[in-house]
Amino acid sequence: MVAPNELAPVDITREFDFTEADFRSLAQLAYEHTGITLADSKRNLVYSRVSRRLRTLGLTSFKQYRSYLARDDNSGEIENFINAISTNLTKFFRESHHFDHFRSHVAGSFAHSSRGSTGGRLRVWSAGCSTGEEPYTIAVVLRKEVPDILRHDARILATDIDTEVLAKASRGEYPLDSIDQIPKSYLPFFAETDGGGGARSVVVEREVRSLITFRRLNLLEAWPFNGLFDAIFCRNVMIYFDNPTKSNLVERFTQQIRPGGWLYIGHSESLTGTHPGLRLMGRTIYRREA
């Protein structure tokens, strides 16, 4: 590892001074607040994204920005920094095999069980929901498989650390081409609308939106709920964490899933070793043991 050095050479083609110490300091700050590990390969990403904050604040160097972040009265800027370095790449029905499994083992089971017919409880958590495509996909599957879902005690919690993407997610409005890969049977849950400026967009059906509660949540902090979930989706989030952080998070997820419930993780993710409370049941699909 290269030691931090305030005198490290600066790329003269860059708009702002950005030293080795700047990168190390911001990477450490990101880790402390979010658990995200920023490898050296993310140096240009950090520069590009955080530069926008410097322009907004009228600062001329990353050293100034670090001093700005260190001020006691700048907790709001910490949130802006977290928003800037968070990666939000998602789409409807991403990793579709998860939703095939969810349809048959969670939604279908609920629809045909005595719980479902008597207005039982169903809870699903989309942890790291980004701009909302994942929880809306979960919701449309539930709406299709359980036509009277609104009569039941069924809720989806959608959380993310980034307040900007949560604001977008709560609106439920997306570019028209975002539904190109959605199976046709789910298209009735999206209504085309005029997005302004001549652009066409789609809005998720109001009754689908009503199933979801969006909340800001830092996965590393205390979780403000006690009930257990029937399924947790945490996909393409843990790839940004180191192994100790990931192991701790998986343990907490396991304790938050009811026995027999499900954990879905991203296609490029894996658990660090085996977990006594989880059994691998399919590609990146785990079941909580009794």
Output DSSP code: residue 72.
T
- For the chain, domain boundaries: 20-85, 96-173+204-288
For position 119, what pLDDT does the model report?
53
For position 36, what pLDDT does the model report?
84
State how far the Cα of 286 lies from the Cα of 12, in Å rounded to an integer.
49
pLDDT tens readout for residues 199-239: 789 999 999 999 999 999 999 999 998 899 999 999 989 98
For position 99, what pLDDT does the model report?
97
Position 273 confidence tier, pLDDT thresholds 50, 70, 90: low
Position 274 confidence tier, pLDDT thresholds 50, 70, 90: low
On the question of pLDDT at 1 being above 60, the answer is no
Catalytic entry in 49, 103, 121, 258: 49
Of residues 258 and 198, which shows the higher confidence score? Answer: 258
For position 8, what pLDDT does the model report?
42
Of residues 241 and 1, which shows the higher confidence score? Answer: 241
> Among 215, 219, 223, which Cα is nearest to 165's?
215
Kindly tell me the burial class for residue 195, based on how many C-beta atoms sit within 10 Å of its own C-beta (0-12, 13-18, 19 or more).
middle
pLDDT tens readout for residues 110-129: 988 745 444 589 999 999 99
Instruction: Give the CATH fold of the 20-85 domain.
Output: Chemotaxis Receptor Methyltransferase Cher; domain 1 (1.10.155)
Per cent of the chain over pLDDT 70 is 89
Give the pLDDT mean for 125-149.
Answer: 96
pLDDT tens readout for residues 18-52: 999 999 999 999 898 888 888 898 899 899 989 99
For position 39, what pLDDT does the model report?
86
pLDDT tens readout for residues 79-90: 889 888 877 778
Per cent of the chain over pLDDT 90 is 67
> Among 68, 67, 52, 63, which Cα is nearest to 19's?
63
Let me know if 49 is a catalytic residue.
yes
Position 163 confidence tier, pLDDT thresholds 50, 70, 90: very high
State how far the Cα of 189 lies from the Cα of 197, in Å rounded to an integer.
24
pLDDT tens readout for residues 170-202: 999 999 999 998 999 999 999 998 766 667 899
State how far the Cα of 122 lies from the Cα of 229, in Å rounded to an integer.
7
Q: Do domains 20-85 and 96-173+204-288 have the same CATH topology?
A: no
For position 195, what pLDDT does the model report?
63
For position 2, what pLDDT does the model report?
34
For position 202, what pLDDT does the model report?
95
For position 9, what pLDDT does the model report?
43
Give the pLDDT mean for 43-68.
Answer: 92
* Radius of gyration of the chain measured on its C-alpha atoms: 21
Kindly tell me the burial class for residue 110, based on how many C-beta atoms sit within 10 Å of its own C-beta (0-12, 13-18, 19 or more).
buried
Let me know if 279 is a catalytic residue.
no
Q: Can you list the alpha helix ranges (DSSP code H) found in 58-182?
A: 62-70, 75-85, 96-102, 108-112, 114-117, 133-145, 163-171
For position 37, what pLDDT does the model report?
87
Catalytic entry in 22, 53, 123, 160: 160
Cβ-contact 212, 136 below 8 angstroms: yes
For position 196, what pLDDT does the model report?
63
For position 290, what pLDDT does the model report?
72
Q: Homologous superfamily of 96-173+204-288 in CATH? A: Vaccinia Virus protein VP39 (3.40.50.150)
